[in-house]
Chain A
Amino acid sequence: MFGHLAAPRRVVVTGMGIACPLGLGVENVWKRMLAGESGLAAIQSFDVSNLPAKIAGQVPLGTKAEGKLDINEWIPVKDQKKMDRFIQLALVAAQEAVEDSGWMPGEDQEEARCRTGVMIGSGIGGLPTIYEASLLIAQGKQRRISPFFIPSALINLASGHVSIKYGFKGPNHAVVTACATGVHALGDAARLIALGDADVMVAGGAEAAVAEIGMAGFCASRALSTAFNDAPTKGSRPWDKDRDGFVMGEGAGVVVLEELEHAKARGAKIYAEVIGYGMSGDAYHITAPTEDGDGAFRAMRAALRSAGLAPSDIQYVNAHGTSTPMGDDLELQAVERLWGDEASRLAMSSTKSAIGHLLGAAGAVEGIFSILAIRDSVAPPTLNLESPSRESPIDRVALEAQPRKIDIALSNSFGFGGTNASIIFKKAA
């Protein structure tokens, strides 16, 4: 099947884009994150009086110049109704990433366009759009369903819209693995390049489930924090003894992945290399991880193997760390088990403490944070980690960012259904 390849090709990151509760723009968001700011707040955009969880991380409204989102600045009004918000956020992040990479082959560069693909996933896609259509049906107004309903809700339409906007005619794909989507998208897209299917991939995740239907659904599965409705910025507190569930966030993270020689040949700025990717399944429960955290352990071990690394080669882990009572400890336990005696030299933080859990976008946004941690030699903080529920030799970067030498970083994402993924980035040589 892969007989045309002498060896897998090397893959680097040459562009990045973020829309998240800390705002728009990679540099803006990163600066705020390192300063210990939080993007979590009380939900104002819809009525939460019947919901036990009343806080979330929403992309702040405002102008592009302020690092905030006014969707009219990005997408023509007539096109907005053709796409659910998750697609809109994907387009915003993709625009930043593509422009950052400088890779925009024109109509006269057909071959280059055909060698550029898109793989942007989502955990649940156009849930609010499906809700709106359901209301019409309940009222007997089947004929009032918009012709844009289906393409607005479909998960792969994020990739579709990005490809249409830029004329990228290579592989067009989408990942759907709940909260592991972002890492799977980055890892799988990197493999498409490594195996020769494309030279450039625009990859990432997008999610916009901070709506009544999404909140009610996750409340029903008892996954959300409900104890900090009066102190929203305190709600996401990974590993802290008072944590009581995750805080939902919305947003998108998109990167431009590129074959190393292709990037070098055009003089592209190279942020980092993707050197490892590992996956596993729990085969255990629809929402709960196995009680020994073995799925997380095996995903990280597989990523290290694919990179040819030992745990001691990693200086920073961006944890899945959602702030749920059980999940945080199991991930910590898995990392301690894998790192063994080396655990005390490791820094691991959860950036979900500042932006909440972006579900299908989480892995992509956190991959970008991992790359920035390498670039700037700094571990972003775990906010609200005031009293750890248990001690660990691992430095969890409580409350404040820490300058640290970081050449290689690993990022974890785990999803409902028992799906786990880890990705490893290395400083560009």
Chain B
Amino acid sequence: MSDTAEKVKKIVVEHLGVEESKVTTEASFIDDLGADSLDTVELVMAFEEAFGVEIPDDAAEKITTVKDAIDYIEKQKSA
């Protein structure tokens, strides 16, 4: 697992209060991990803070799974 993936999963575990085993790469924040729309807004803010990236609202709306978050952040970091 990449450093980014590990860090993303750790943030998800902390913010949504879910067990680590449930936070698979494919997991959807809302459908699989019990988040609501406000939780996802907060999650994106936590990603921004942790990775020092800016995620504009239109991009944030498309981040619905753990994989979406990892991909977006890795793309930003390599850009």
Using a CB–CB cutoff of 8 Å, the interface residues on chain A facing chain B are 76-79, 82, 143-144, 146-148, 151
Within 8 A of A (CB), among B1-29: 15-17
Bound complex: CA of A151 vs CA of B15, how far in Å?
17
Pairwise interchain contact B38-A147, C-beta atoms closer than 8 A: yes
Q: How many residues on the B side are at the interface (Cβ–Cβ under 8 A)?
A: 8
A144-B45, A146-B45 known; A78 vs B16 contact (CB < 8 Å) = yes
Residues from chain B with Cβ under 8 Å of A147 in the complex: 38, 41-42, 45
Which residues of B are in contact with A by a Cβ distance under 8 Å?
15-17, 38, 41-42, 45, 49
Interface of A is mostly: helix
Contact B17 A146 (CB under 8 A): no
Contact present for B41 and A78 (CB under 8 Å): no
Cross-chain pairs A/B with CB under 8 angstroms, 16 sampled: A76-B17, A77-B17, A78-B15, A78-B16, A78-B17, A79-B17, A143-B45, A144-B45, A144-B49, A146-B42, A146-B45, A147-B38, A147-B41, A147-B42, A147-B45, A148-B38
Nearest-Cβ distance from residue B18 to partner chain A, whole angstroms: 8
Contact between A148 and B42, CB atoms less than 8 A apart: yes
Which residues does chain B contribute within 8 Å of A143, judged by CB atoms? 45
Min CB gap A77→B, angstroms: 6
Interchain nearest-CB distance for B52 vs A (Å):
13
CA distance A353 to B39 in the complex (A): 42
Instruction: Name B34's closest neighbour in chain A (CB-CB).
Output: A78
Give me 15 other A-B pairs in contact (C-beta within 8 A), A76-B17, A78-B15, A151-B38 excluded: A77-B17, A78-B16, A78-B17, A79-B17, A82-B38, A143-B45, A144-B49, A146-B42, A146-B45, A147-B38, A147-B41, A147-B42, A147-B45, A148-B38, A148-B42
Cα distance A69–B17 when bound, in Å?
21
Cα A77 to Cα B49 in complex, Å, equals: 20
Bound-state Cα–Cα, A274 to B5, Å: 59
CB distance from A142 to the nearest CB of B (A): 12
- Please, how many angstroms separate the alpha-carbon atoms of A115 and B38 in the complex? 29
Across the interface, name the chain A residue whose C-beta is closest to B18: A78
A144 to chain B, nearest CB (A): 7
Closest chain B CB from A306 CB (angstroms): 43
Q: Which residues of A contact B16 (CB under 8 A)?
A: 78
Q: How far apart sit A232 and B45, CA to CA, in the bound complex (Å)?
A: 42
Chain B residue nearest in CB terms to A150 = B38
- Chain B residue with minimal CB distance to A81? B42
Alpha-carbon distance between A76 and B17 when the two chains are bound, in angstroms: 8
Nearest Cβ on chain B to A408's Cβ, whole angstroms: 47
Contacting residues, chain B, for A78 (C-beta < 8 A): 15-17
